[in-house]
Amino acid sequence: MIILFTFITLLSLTLKNHHPITFFITKNRQDWLLDFIGLFFQGIIIPVLQITLVFQLYNYLLPNLKSTLSLHPLIAFCLSFILVDYLYYWNHRLFHTPLLWSVHKVHHTVTAMDVVGTSRNTLWTSLLILYLWVHPLFIYFLQDPTWYIFGASLTSALDLWRHSIFTPQPKSIIYRLLSPWLILPQDHAWHHARNYSGGNYGANFKIWDKIHGTYCHNELKPEILGTISNLSLTQKLFLPF
C-alpha cells in the first residue's frame, strides 16, 4: 500500500504543479506508452512473478529451508533496506558496463523526472534486477517477513520519489537532514543528465557511492535529461531481442 500511496501522491502533486495539457505534451506518444507499459510490468507482473514462480522455485530447490530464519524485526528491516541496497548498487553499476548498457540505456532515455518514467525499461531488464530474485528468497527464509517487506516497500517508494520533480531545497531543514545519507531526486537527476559521465548508482544510500568514489554532488538539477535514442517502441521494449 505504501508504494501505491506514494505513486498516487506524487502523480497528483505533479499534475497540481503543471497544467494537464503542458504535462502530457512533455513526452511523445511512444514515451508515454513505454512508461505505462513499464509501470504495469514492474508494478504488477514482476510482483506476481515474485510471489508465484520465483517463490515456488525456491520451494522446489530448498524445501527444508522455508521459514527457518528467525530475525529481530529491526534486523530484518536492515537486511532489506541496507544490505540489499548495497547489492543493488553493484547491480546498477553492472548495468552501466558494456555488457548490459545496451538494455539499460532505455531507462536513460527519460527526459523528465515525473515519477511515471520510474519504470521505463526493456521488459527483459526487470529479470536482471536483483530485487526479483533476492526479495522472494529472504521472504522464503524468514519466519516473519513483515519488516523485511516493509523495507522493500520503502525502497520502492523512495525510488518513485527519486524519479520525481519534488526535490528539497538546498537550504531547507529537510535537505540538511536527508542530504548527508540519502540519495535525493537531484542526485539521481544527475545520473540521468544528458552529459552523464558516470556515478550516483545508489538507490537508498549515497554512502555506497562515496565509499567507491562514484558520488557526484550538485545541489542544482541538470538542465537537460535523457540520452538520445532512435530506437522504435518495439526495440525499446524487447532489446536485445
Can you give the residue ranges of every domain in the chain? 2-238
Residue 143 has a pLDDT of 97
Of the candidates 198, 200, 193, 197, the one whose C-alpha atom is nearest the C-alpha of residue 228 is: 193
Cβ-proximal residues to 41 (8 Å cutoff; 6+ apart), any chain: 119, 121, 123, 126
Q: Which residue has the higher pLDDT, 141 or 103?
A: 141
User: Rounded mean pLDDT of 159-164?
Assistant: 93
Of the candidates 89, 204, 78, the one whose C-alpha atom is nearest the C-alpha of residue 142 is: 78
Q: Do 175 and 27 contact (CB within 8 A), yes or no?
A: no
CA distance 68 to 190: 42
Q: Which residue has the higher pLDDT, 40 or 112?
A: 40
CB atoms within 10 A of CB 203: 23
CA distance 59 to 40: 27
CA distance 22 to 83: 41
Q: Do 163 and 157 contact (CB within 8 A), yes or no?
A: no
Residue 168 has a pLDDT of 86
Q: What percent of the chain shows pLDDT beyond 90?
A: 62
Calculate the average pLDDT of the chain: 90
Q: Do 115 and 10 contact (CB within 8 A), yes or no?
A: yes
pLDDT reading at 217 higher than 90: no
User: Rounded mean pLDDT of 2-26?
Assistant: 81
User: Rounded mean pLDDT of 168-187?
Assistant: 90
> Radius of gyration (Cα) for the chain, nearest Å?
18
User: Rounded mean pLDDT of 135-143?
Assistant: 96
**Which whole-number Å values give the CA distances from 193 to 28, 94, 107, 188, 223, in the listed order?**
19, 19, 12, 9, 8
Cβ-proximal residues to 178 (8 Å cutoff; 6+ apart), any chain: 168, 184
pLDDT confidence bin for 17, thresholds 50/70/90: confident
Q: Cα dihedral angle (125, 130, 132, 134), rounded to 10 degrees?
A: 170
Among the residue ranges 18-22, 167-171, 224-228, the one predicted with the least confidence is 18-22
Q: What percent of the chain shows pLDDT beyond 70?
A: 98
pLDDT confidence bin for 191, thresholds 50/70/90: very high
Q: Do 58 and 137 contact (CB within 8 A), yes or no?
A: yes
